[in-house]
Amino acid sequence: MKFRPGGFSFDSVLRRFLPRSLLGRSLLTVLIPLVLLQAVALEIFYGSHLNELSRRLAGGVAGEVGFVIDEIDRAPSTRVMVMQEAERHFLFRIVYLPGETLKHLPPPDAPGPVDDDLAAGLANDLHRKFSVAWNTAPDHIRINVQMPDGVLSIDVPRKRLYIGEFYIFLAWLIGTALIVFGVAAMFLRNQVRGIARLARAAEAFGMGRDYGPIKPEGAIEVRRAATAFNRMQERLRRFLEQRTTMLAGVSHDLRTPLTRLRLALAMMEETPAGDLAGMTGDIEEMEKLISMYLAFARGEGSEQAAPTDLALLLEDIAAAARRAGAQITCTTPESLFVTLRPEAMRRAINNLIDNARRHAKNIVLSAAERGERAITIIIDDDGPGIPPEQRDSLFRPFETNAPGGVGLGLAIARDIIGAHGGNIHLTDSPLGGLRAVVELPI
């Protein structure tokens, strides 16, 4: 449900402040009820027990002060003795200031509930002008009471008003909350660990890396998911191996008759040289087509991913293209390490360069990091380009716009790049032709 007063979206705010990880959200689910529960417990304890006890303490101190004032009023000659007895029994420190008067100022607001109870109790018991200095000293408060011939200054120890139970209870609440939250965090982390390992394995498998079987651990649902993932990895690996073995046999069966035809043509003496060269060229083209079909069907699944300097790999590819007659410029950083299958990536980039060579004179190959999690490879050419509505279709197998083309080069390149967890798209080049943009995760 979305609530949008004046364009405000509750869902967007919630998504902005919610943790993105499963562990963070799980801990937040534990933390919020725990804090609410402790707050309710604190309120119940303070409202029912501690508040009443504090009120009684404040009332007791107010009554004792009132008792001292009444005794002095009843027998002024015994003032010194009353003050001494009050200091001994009530822990007061009392000073009499003869001739002093209190200013006609209202008493200051009490800083807390206990002090407010004390001020109310004094007003009820004394029935005369008084003032309370709450911040005179850290260990006591000062009560000044107007007497007929002076001011009685009474220092009351704060421990007479404040009890330690509140702080003990607060420490107990915080301590138990931390213990409960710590235990929950340890438990949830162990539960999430299996999911995180499964996510890493799935990501690595999707990028063509052999992560290996993962150990099932955690809740039964996580164990089932890990077991199912291991079985899926094994089935796909077995399928690829069987397909590769079968295609190797098909390749051998197809090339054997072509080899015999080549040998037969070589032994034919009466065939004109022009016809012989044409038939030999047809056989070579058939062998090339078979190689491309098998390469597309077989893929590059047997090669393992390894940390590779992509900058050096692109330089090697560009140098090989120059030796083959291409006008190519390569611009890369000094080093650009990424985990990939080097021979498979070489094949993909070569296919893109070969596609550009068929239509353009000049090619620019470049690579750069894009942020901290991706690398971009760009192949620009100055050829005629491809209309935007035809670009996506050229990645489908056997789709081509070049006479004599097979239509597998871009399809093979896309499959290899996709197996690395990347993507490829075509756009307009600043050189006037076509730009192929390859994005690879780091």
For 185-211, what is each residue's pLDDT tens digit?
A: 888 888 888 888 888 888 777 766 777
CATH code of the domain made up of 44-163: 3.30.450
* pTM over the 0.95 mark: no
- What pLDDT does 172 receive? 83
For residues 367 and 335, is the Cβ–Cβ distance under 8 A?
A: no
Domain extents for the chain? Answer: 44-163, 237-298, 306-441
Q: Please provide residue 2's backbone torsions phi and psi, each rounded to the nearest 5 degrees.
A: -115, 135
Say yes or no: do domains 44-163 and 306-441 share a fold.
no
For 135-190, what is each residue's pLDDT tens digit?
A: 778 888 888 888 888 888 888 888 777 666 667 777 888 888 889 888 888 888 88
Q: Please provide residue 148's backbone torsions phi and psi, each rounded to the nearest 5 degrees.
A: -60, -35
The residue assigned the tokens 């008003």 is 161
Question: Across the chain, what does the average pLDDT equal?
Answer: 80
User: DSSP state, 247?
Assistant: H
**What is the per-residue burial (b if ≥16 Cβ within 10 Å, else e) of 378-409?**
bbbbbbebbeeeebeebbebeebeeeeebbbb
For 305-360, what is each residue's pLDDT tens digit?
A: 788 999 999 999 999 999 988 899 999 888 888 888 888 899 899 989 988 888 88
**Chain center to CA of 331:** 34
CATH code of the domain made up of 237-298: 1.10.287.130
For residues 367 and 377, is the Cβ–Cβ distance under 8 A?
A: yes
CATH topology of domain 306-441: Heat Shock Protein 90 (3.30.565)
For residues 92 and 86, is the Cβ–Cβ distance under 8 A?
A: yes
Q: Helices 22-45 and 165-206: crossing angle, nearest 10°? A: 170
SS3 assignment, position 331: strand
CA-wise closest residue to 304 among 329, 265, 339, 276: 339
